[in-house]
Amino acid sequence: MNTRPLVLVVMDGVGVGPGDRYDAVATADTPTFDRLRGAGVYQEIFASGTHVGLSSDSDMGNSEVGHNTMGAGRIIAQGAKRVDDAVLGGEIWEGAWRDVVTRATTGDGTLHLIGLLSDGNVHSSWEHLLLLLDHVKADGVQRVRLHTLFDGRDVEDRTADQYAERLEDALATRTEGTGLDWAIASGGGRMVTTMDRYEANWSVVEAGWRAHVQGTARPFTSVGEAIRVLREETPGISDQLLEAFTIVDQEGAPVGRVHDGDAVVIFNFRGDRAIELTRAFVEGSGFTGFDRGTVPDVFFAGMTLYDGDTNMPPVRLVQPPTITDTVSELIARAGLRQLAASETQKFGHMTYFWNGNRSDPFNAQTETYIDIPSDQIEFDKAPQMKAAETADYIVRALQEGGYDFLRSNLAGGDMVGHTGNFDSTVLAVEAVDAAVGAIAAAVEAAGGCLVVTADHGNAEDMVERDKQGQPRASEGGQPLWKTAHSTNPVPLYIVDYSDQEWAAVDGVDAAGLSNLAATLLTLLDLPVPENYRPSLVAVARNSG
């Protein structure tokens, strides 16, 4: 077994783009990337669509499925695809769904549907929401309230009004002439309302709680009025930053606060930004996220399992995929020591998602997890994020020795890319390049092996494009900056500073993130399971 350290760096959201002036990766000064490309094995691999278990090849990759796939070594049905399968097979309408309907049709019960209003298929699905509404109607639920979170990241920004209008039309189509009482009750932008993750900022969830549950957020008489006024107050504001609001009637009373006896369903299928609101609903007196006031007695269900270690939520409409024998589990069984380091925004990806939806180490004696607190400001204001600090942890660990496999995530390409600020994203990519450079120098000094890749694209394509791939502009001629992920491939650099040389394996079909686990095991001289997708490298020469 090779005992040199193996280091993996995931450059979150740094894909391979068109190389034009809207490509922040190509625009950035990246001497490390340039040097690594010529120093070892370089490939471009798939990180989106069916290659990572999503429904179609038009589906953008994302951090959750990317890290799941990298760690699993196989293509697992993910996200929307997992729920799609449950819908097609009828699984979703059995079990917990019947309990939801029973509660919502008992007495004065109301069904509350909370989630991201988006067809980006990253956190939620527009089609899933429409199917839920169809079944709600067929099951005779009289009173329904929608609590809408606006995207601006996984879909074109500043389209919240269009999605709200589509939802209002969908509600009207299903309720016209029926006497059904269905309405939108609250809303807000996803980055300031409800959808915090990794406990980075509980005030975001608290804002959602006030809007959705208590009905005490800023009042408006309609969702259209809310969006219009908030945009007028802050021209150019991104949908993801729209202030939380509550819809009220003519007397100023909230039209859809949550009461005892109601049913609540979060229709997001991705867990990282749904888990905190879930906890606010289901945890008892030990909850410490924020002051919830009086917690209503409701029947709560999530779309699927959001956290396997804590069994959150206890009730869900669709059971999650089971991912066993992940690469870190196999490395732990081999007795090798592992380190995972990331700032908070991607810590769960390098641990929970990487481990196949498991938060705890497989072997606490041989695994160390480092969570570096992220800044609690808009990321384009400090675009370097914690790249340098993350690199410092890896460098120190290499200098001290003792770890066989070290993995880390550099978040800037993704998190700053989501702001749509091109110049800041260029700075973020340059910070990532510098961090990779520092890590590479330490790996070389330790005689180790370096693997650098990304979980999906984002920073390499920062403009909205038409069907021909041409950049789109506003009526004033300004670029329509894009805040979403991409379907572009991602780079894979492998540089071994020991006495081994590696060559790319020819003929691997649709090489992608699912091949990374086998590649890592090969580099560690560990056996590759038969059900893994194949390694992308093989030994070219070993002078030892």
Element (H, E) at 428: helix 422-445
Give pLDDT, residue 22.
97
Please answer whether residues 514 and 459 qualify as being in contact, where contact means their C-beta atoms are separated by less than 8 angstroms: no
Chain-centre distance for alpha carbon 13:
11
- Integer Cα distance of 344 and 389 in angstroms: 12
Helices (H), 47-149: 63-72, 79-89, 96-104, 126-138
User: How many residues does the structure list for the chain?
Assistant: 544
The DSSP symbol for 158 reads: S
Give the 3-state DSSP-derived string for 471-506, with helices as H, strands as E and coil as C.
ECECCCCCECECCCCECCCEEEEEEECCCEEEEECC
Domains of the chain plus CATH, in order, are: 6-77+322-542 (3.40.720.10), 81-318 (3.40.1450.10)
d(CA 169, CA 163): 10
Distances (CA, A) of 500 to 43, 343, 515, 539, 540: 19, 32, 20, 7, 8
Q: What confidence score (pLDDT) does residue 199 get?
A: 87
Task: Provide the pLDDT for residue 79.
Answer: 74
SS3 94: coil
The pLDDT value recorded for residue 124 is 94
Residue 197: per-residue pLDDT: 85
Q: How many CA atoms lie within 13 A of 393 on its CB side?
A: 20
Q: pLDDT, tens digit, for every residue of 290-346?
A: 999 999 999 999 999 887 657 789 999 998 777 999 999 999 999 999 999 999 999
163-196 b/e with 16+ CB inside 10 Å = b? bbeebbebbeebbeeeebebbbbbbbbbbbbbbb
d(CA 423, CA 24): 8
Report residue 158: phi and psi, to 5°: 60, 40
Report how far apart the first and last C-alpha atoms of the chain are (Å, whole number). 13
Q: Which DSSP helix (H) or strand (E) runs through 325?
A: none
* Residues involved in catalysis: 63
Low-confidence ranges of the chain (pLDDT < 50): 543-544
Q: What are 432's two structure tokens?
A: 């990532």
CB atoms within 10 A of CB 455: 35
DSSP state of 343: E
Taking CA atoms, 453 is separated from 42, 127, 152, 431, in Å, by 10, 32, 26, 16
Q: On the CB side of 154, how many CA atoms lie within 13 Å of its CA?
A: 25
Q: For 118-193, where are the E strands, in sequence order?
A: 143-150, 181-189
pLDDT in the model for residue 200: 86
User: Closest Cα partner for 453 from 6, 51, 13?
Assistant: 13
What confidence score (pLDDT) does residue 275 get?
Answer: 92
Q: Which pLDDT value is given to residue 1? A: 55
Residue 74 in contact with residue 122, Cβ under 8 Å?
no
Q: How far apart are CA 455 and CA 64, in angstroms?
A: 9
